[in-house]
Amino acid sequence: MGRNYYQGGAEQRYHLSAGVLAVDKDGLLGVHHLPRNGEDFERYEFLHETVELGETLEAAALRGLREEFGAEARIIGYLGCLLTTFNSHCAAIEKATEYLVAHVETWNESRRKTDDNTVGSRIEWFTSDRLLSLMHDQADRDSTPDLDETTILRRYIEQLKPQ
């Protein structure tokens, strides 16, 4: 099918990802919890999946949920885009992450892929208020804009959170 022009790298300075807020039947939000690694702080982040050639945003999100969470879900909402920059191969990559909300219908962590870059993470579930506190603290201590997803979480709380 050819080179994935959605994947940022040395020759391609732009990257497109589907971000997913996974919501379980109790209204809890699932995130990757990545433990502290060397100089890095522990962090909490929503699922991000690079869009593949010929794939819709929704298909990328659902594929990511299967691969990274071991979950089957259905898309129930859209929360807009975050545009950030990260460094890869000594080049600044502009990353657009389009965020979707998905209702998790089944979850089996043992079905997670074992060769993914998130394999060291734990999937943890939080109330939106608790997660907002964790992500806010994370944004205050870490200057990596790609990891500050508080704007997206606030949009969810204001627009789509079940009452």
Mean pLDDT of 138-161: 82
DSSP 111: G
- What's the pLDDT band for 86 if we cut at 50, 70, 90? confident
Split at pLDDT 50, 70, 90, the class of 38 is low
In which element (H, E) is residue 22 found?
Answer: strand 14-23
- Confidence label for 161 from pLDDT (cuts 50, 70 and 90): low
Residue 22 has pLDDT above 70, yes or no: yes
Q: Which has the minimum average pLDDT: 75-84, 115-124, 150-159?
A: 115-124
Average pLDDT over the chain, rounded to an integer: 87
Relative orientation angle of helices 150-159 and 128-141, to the nearest 10 degrees: 160
pLDDT at 150: 92
pLDDT recorded at residue 163 = 58
Instruction: Classify residue 66 by burial, with Cβ atoms within 10 Å: 0-12, 13-18, 19+.
Output: middle
pLDDT at 116: 64
pLDDT digits (tens, 9 = 90+) for 109-143: 888 887 766 667 889 999 999 999 999 888 877 76
Higher pLDDT, 109 or 151: 151
* 3 state SS of 156: helix
First-to-final CA distance of the chain: 44
